[in-house]
Structure 1
């Protein structure tokens, strides 16, 4: 069974909607391009010689956000233990889209191969996104 695990360091980012110029040309915002490049680079550091898999894939994505400095000590403890989860933006689906779109053609041949997905937002002292891609059983 194939199982690929890797981390993307830093605050989780969402895939932003394409922007359109006054002349009607659509483009991807710079922050989205930079984050997708970070995800690709992170994957390639873990799996430098990876050949894109060609099977059904299950994706597990855990997005860890920084604990707000303004939170009380009690709340910080609860956040650290996973008893309080982030309810702020970005949305789960946009985090998943940023990660999965950036791995298209690198980790797997096409993101249509992803047949199930589990996405979670948590707090942590170390912001990051953990990704597991597994061959669907």
Structure 2
């Protein structure tokens, strides 16, 4: 049932805590991991001098995403956990939508992800991809809070 664990990663400390917990679970359960990184090519960087070349910017965030995934795969492989990785682009919708779609497509039994654990006004203003996943997931979701965020 829990032989496939989906782990969204973004390279942050919070995400890395989620990855480490997913690795512990995978070892205990004999599960494999799918690491997922979502890039948003719709973000455009604007400064007072004008707009950067959009195609260069989009390629740079894709490259950064591939680097995040490569580092996460390296960590998982060092732990002996079977792992693959997917880079997805957000073209409308939310990150939570993409995480849930990947979980369904890959037939994940569980999602493990880091969360900042924001509350109150900070949560309302900044929102939460993790909470979007929890609200809509048809499978168990384990949220790992960054100890530094407490």
Please classify the TM superposition score into its range, dividing by the shorter chain length.
Answer: 0.3 to 0.5
Greater share of strand? 1
Greater share of helix? 2
With CA pairs under 8 Å and 6+ residues apart, which has the higher RCO, 1 or 2? 1
| TM-score, structure 2 normalization | 0.34
| TM-score, structure 1 normalization | 0.36
